[in-house]
Structure 1
Amino acid sequence: MNKLFGTYKVLAYVVGVLLLVGTICSLFKYLLPEGNALQSFGETMTPLWVAHGWVFIIYVIVAFLLTQKARWTIPEFLLMMIAGLVPGLIFWVERRVADRIAPLLIDA
């Protein structure tokens, strides 16, 4: 379970960073005037959402496997899934998961 948790942790941070950066770039793209340098930058970063989507799918699979091994409930799994869709939330959820799984890793 140590490798699975390590993989989850890395994926959580990658998904979180991609989501934050993507959100900021989208704000630049849609809220700033057309032709502005930051607006153009936001527009060129659109493929970032594709990367977030693919990494998020892998994150969902790893999170599911982790919750199955830890024998957690479906609401706990759903919280992990929602965290990958709300900017910033994933960092708080990852910390909670780490705190809850630490005793299980010591026993393993």
Structure 2
Amino acid sequence: MNKLFSTYKVLAYVVGVLLLVGTICSLLKYLLPEGSALQSFGDAMTPLWVAHGWIFIVYVIVAFLLTQKARWTVPEFLLMMIAGLVPGLIFWVERRVASRIAPKLAESAAS
């Protein structure tokens, strides 16, 4: 379960960063005047959402496997899924998951 958690942690940070950067770029793209340098930059960063989407799919699979191994409930899994869609939330959820899974990792390392 240690490798699965490590994979989850990396994916959570990557998804979180892509979501924050993508959100900022979308704000630049849609809120700034057409043709400005920052608006063009925001428009050029549109493929970032494709990367976020594909990595989010892998994140969902890893989060599902982690919740199954840890024997967590469906609402806990859903919180992990929503965190990948709300900018900034995934960092709080990752810390929460880490604190909840630490005793299980210590227990598995001891045996």
TM range (shorter): over 0.9
Give the fraction of aligned pairs with identical amino acids, expressed as a percent.
88
Instruction: Tell me the equivalent position of 2:88.
Output: 88
Taking the aligned partners of 1:60 and 1:13, their CA distance within structure 2 comes to 13
Superposed CA deviations along residues 69-95 of structure 1, whole A, max 9, x for unmatched, are 000000000000000000000000000
Q: CA deviation at 1:107?
A: 0.7
Partner of residue 68, structure 1: 68
The CA distance in 1 between the partners of 2:90 and 2:106, in whole Å, is: 24
Aligned to 2:99: 99
Question: Following the alignment from structure 1 to structure 2, what is the Cα–Cα distance between the partners of residues 101 and 36?
Answer: 47
Partner residue, 1:2: 2
Residues in 1 aligned to 2:83 and 2:90: alpha-carbon distance in whole angstroms: 4
Q: When the two structures are superposed, what TM-score results if normalisation uses the length of structure 1? A: 1.00
Give 4+ residue runs of structure 1 displaced > 2 Å after superposition. none
State the match for 2:58 in structure 1: 58
Q: Deviations over 1:32-73 (max 9, x none)?
A: 000110000000000000000000000000000000000000
Correspondence 1:15-30 to 2 at 5 A: 15-30=15-30
* Structure 2 unpaired stretches of 5+: none
Extract unaligned runs of 5+ from structure 1: none
- Equivalenced residue count is 108
Amino acid at match of 1:104: K
AA matched with 1:54 = W
